[in-house]
Every structure is written in C-alpha cells, then in structure tokens.
Amino acid sequence: MRRVVHLENLDRQVVVQASEAEPRNMGADLMVLTDGRWLMGYSRWLGGAHDDDGSQICGMLSDDGGDTWSTPFAIALRPDGVEAVRMPCFLRLKDGRLACFYRVRETHLDTWTGMIICRDETRLSEPGAGPELWTDPVRISPPAPGRHVLLNNRALRLQQGPHAGRILLPLASPWPWDEEDRRGTHIRSWVLYSDDDGATWQPSQSMLEGPERGLMEPYLMEHPDGRVRMWMRTQMDCQYESISSDGGNSWSPATPGPLVSPESPVAVARHEASGMLMIVWNHNRRGKHTADRTPIGVAFSEDEGDSWFGEHTLDPHNGDRVVPAGDGEPANTGSVGAVQAGGESGHSVAANPGAGEPGEADDPGRVSQGDGRSSDSRSGDSRSFSYPGAHFLGDRGIVTYYENAGGRISLIVRRFDLRLD
C-alpha cells in the first residue's frame, strides 16, 4: 500500500523578480556550504530575454534556511569572446572544495561545458568579492565544433557499485556536432563523465536518439543497485527514459516513460530517509510552446521511477502568499493537506505518447497563446513555469523554477516539510 504524502509548511518566494534591466532569471542550483549557509546559483540574462542574448551566473546566500537571501553577486562573468555563461551545477569534490559546472557559449557551434572551483567559500558575498574567488574556467567537454547543452542542477556523483565516485554530467547536442542547426532538429542525449574527480573527462559511448526534434535536456538519478536512470524532454507528450548499468557509459534505447509531459525538462531528488524519489515537472500535453509549461508540480515514486503517485501542483497555486526574498519577512507556514495517487488535479500521472504539431523556437522569453493547453484552464492563468531544480535537506524539500509572466521570467523557490503516513 502506497504511503500518503503530506507537503507541510509549503511557501513560495519570488527570489529574483524580473525587471526591465534583468528580464530573465532562471536555471538555479543549491548547495549547503561548509559553514551551513545556503548558496543559490542562478542564470541572469543581460540586455534581453531571448535564448541568444547574453547571460552570467550569479549567486545569493541565506544564513536562515532560505527565509531571506543576500543581494545577488557574480560567480561567473562572460570573458572576452564569450557570448553567454549560464546554468550552474554545484558539486562537492572529494577534497572538500566546491566545484561549479556550467554552459559556455562562444558561438552556437562552440558551446561547451566549463568547470570552476571556489578558492574560499567563506568569503562568498563579501563586499567586492566575485568571480575572482573562483578558478579560471576549464573546458571539460569535447573541442569545437558542437553545441553541448548542460542545464542547471545536473551534476551527479555515483555512490554505488564499481563506478562509485564517478561524476556524471548529462548533456544534449544537435547531431551531427559540426552541423550549424540553430533550431536543433536532431538532438541526442549523452553523458560526460570523470573517474578522477574532475581532472579528466570522457564522453559516453551512447548518444541517445529519439523522434521529432530528438531527446533533450536530460536528468540523471542513481538507483540503489548502482544503475542510473535518465529522463529526457521530447515532443512526444511524455518524458523518454533510458537505463545505464555501467555507470553512465552505455545506455539502453530510449523509450516513452510513464509521465505525461510537454516539451520541457524535469528535475529529480531523493528523500534519503524513505528512499522515495520526487520529480518536478509540467503535467500537461504538448500545446503552444512554451506556454504549455503549466502547471508545474511534484510526484513521488517508491519504485525508482517506474510509477508515480502523490501528485501535488505547485503553480499556479493562488492560495500561497508570495514573499519577495530579502524583505525580512518569514514565509507562509500554512499546511497543505495530504495528496494521494492521481493528485489534487484529478489527472492520471500515466502517459499516452503521441506526436503533436511542430513547436515554436525554444525560447521562454516568447509568450505563446493558443489552445487550452497553453494555460491553466482551471484558473485562467496565462503564466508558465519550467526549468526546475529539486533538493532534499533531510525532510525539507526545496524546489526552484522560473515563472514566465508576459515574457518577464522570475526565479521562484518553494519550500516544504515532507511527512509520510
């Protein structure tokens, strides 16, 4: 019998509010520092909200468990000759240092994965401190040509089996790598891995392919038996999945998984005490891109992702009090009741894969209005929500994602306490 999931003390923070000067803020990751503070890294767009516009990586600190956040500070700026840096992924190295992996775009045919290491995390957010607290970026993905796309909150260190200690970074790239395809019409998912704590890196043997635009924006989670599962965004009304039994080098053919999903990514976290997985995703079918990225919610699995239950919608959720980060107020502490299989929306979590019409350019800065799948039909809310991050710190769940309201993209944080019956 499945357990009943309670999300208690659920709150909602607009951590970075979009503005004319900073129109797009998204792609976050979270790390607990050695002194107990929380570091939130995120991607800040510069000058515009289009995918092709510039960006940098910023950070914020919280010393009260996410109740309030510091003023943003720079982690990685664009060096000369680089168009954009974005999508931070934090990882603690074996020697205790904090590493950050991120995407670097020099050109579309030279988009690569960089790695930097923090020199002194105790000084983060000190007046005048910034990128100089981090080492110079090292290119760890293959040389040009290639557009290798890494998303936020993706770094995974294996804990089980013969490959324990290996670092995995899931990537997606238009195929072939030397083709100038800004649309990305044949995208394959693969893995970059390191067996020496980030000193050297190798591409996986498998390059997974799928229908229509292909397999995009993969996410990884290790099973207790050492296998690794990959979820991939598609245009097929569901997430595709694959399994690796050799530490991420070779992968089974990608097939449709059990989650209904538009063309948007997921994030997954494990609740260590129960062993359950939590997934964050858009429970919707493919509609007008990118406005079909609603609602966003969570569901839980007791069988390593073979099935999901306990669905709960996070946004739109008009019952939550919005607390701008940094205003010094505590967040809403209202309890959310139990949610059982099928979720409060009453939708099934099972997929029925099928092709839809071709989507528009993959740009959250564009607002698409159209059929009923492009907004939340229960509330008439035209916002969309995507690019999540997922974390558990004990029983405390933390979820991040963007809110797109009229082309202005703000960074949202949801916190809750997980209780199981």
Q: Is 327 helix (H, G, I), strand (E, B) or coil?
A: coil
E strands, 71-122, where? 73-76, 84-92, 98-107, 110-117
Q: pLDDT at position 328, please?
A: 32
Mean pLDDT of 76-99: 96
- Is the pLDDT reported for residue 60 higher than 60? yes
Mean pLDDT lowest for which of 191-200, 202-211, 315-324?
315-324
From the CB of residue 21, how many other CB atoms can be counted at a distance below 10 Å?
A: 8
Contacts of residue 160, defined as CB under 8 A and 6 or more positions apart, other chains included, come to: 222, 223, 224, 225, 226
Render 191-226 in DSSP notation, one character per residue: EEEESSTTSS-EE-S--B--STTB-EEEEEEE-TTS
Residue closest to 209 by CA, chosen among 182, 183, 236: 236
Q: pLDDT at position 11, please?
A: 97
Give strand pairing partners of 255: 241
From the CB of residue 419, how many other CB atoms can be counted at a distance below 10 Å?
A: 15
CA gap 238, 263 in Å, rounded = 8
Q: pLDDT at position 184, please?
A: 66
Mean pLDDT lowest for which of 31-45, 144-158, 211-225, 322-336?
322-336
- Is the pLDDT reported for residue 28 higher than 60? yes
CA gap 388, 15 in Å, rounded = 14
CA gap 276, 33 in Å, rounded = 25
Tokens of 224: 């207790």
Single-letter residue type at 385 = F
Mean pLDDT of 208-232: 97
Q: pLDDT at position 318, please?
A: 57
Residue closest to 402 by CA, chosen among 17, 54, 62, 40: 17
Contacts of residue 148, defined as CB under 8 A and 6 or more positions apart, other chains included, come to: 103, 111, 112, 113, 141, 142, 171, 172, 173
Greater confidence, 243 or 349?
243
Contacts of residue 77, defined as CB under 8 A and 6 or more positions apart, other chains included, come to: 56, 85, 130, 131
- Is the pLDDT reported for residue 388 higher than 80? yes
Domain count, the chain: 1
Q: pLDDT at position 380, please?
A: 63
Q: What is the DSSP letter of 314?
A: E
Q: pLDDT at position 221, please?
A: 98
> Which CATH number characterizes residue 133's domain?
2.120.10.10
Q: pLDDT at position 317, please?
A: 74
Q: Is 330 helix (H, G, I), strand (E, B) or coil?
A: coil
Range of the domain at 220: 5-420
Mean pLDDT of 19-48: 96
Q: Are strands 238-244 and 228-233 parallel, antiparallel or unpaired?
A: antiparallel
328-367 residues labelled b (16+ CB within 10 A) or e (exposed): eeebbeeebebbebebebeeebebebeebeebeebbbbbb
Q: pLDDT at position 47, please?
A: 85
- Is the pLDDT reported for residue 297 higher than 90? yes
Q: How confident is the model at residue 289 (pLDDT cuts 50, 70, 90)?
A: confident
Greater confidence, 185 or 26?
26
Q: What strand order describes the sheet that includes 309-315?
A: 267-270, 277-282, 296-301, 309-315
Q: pLDDT at position 350, please?
A: 42
- Which residue, chain included where needed, has tokens 């890294």? 41
Phi and psi angles of residue 131, each rounded to the nearest 5 degrees, phi first: -60, -20
Q: Are strands 267-270 and 255-260 parallel, antiparallel or unpaired?
A: unpaired
Q: pLDDT at position 181, please?
A: 67
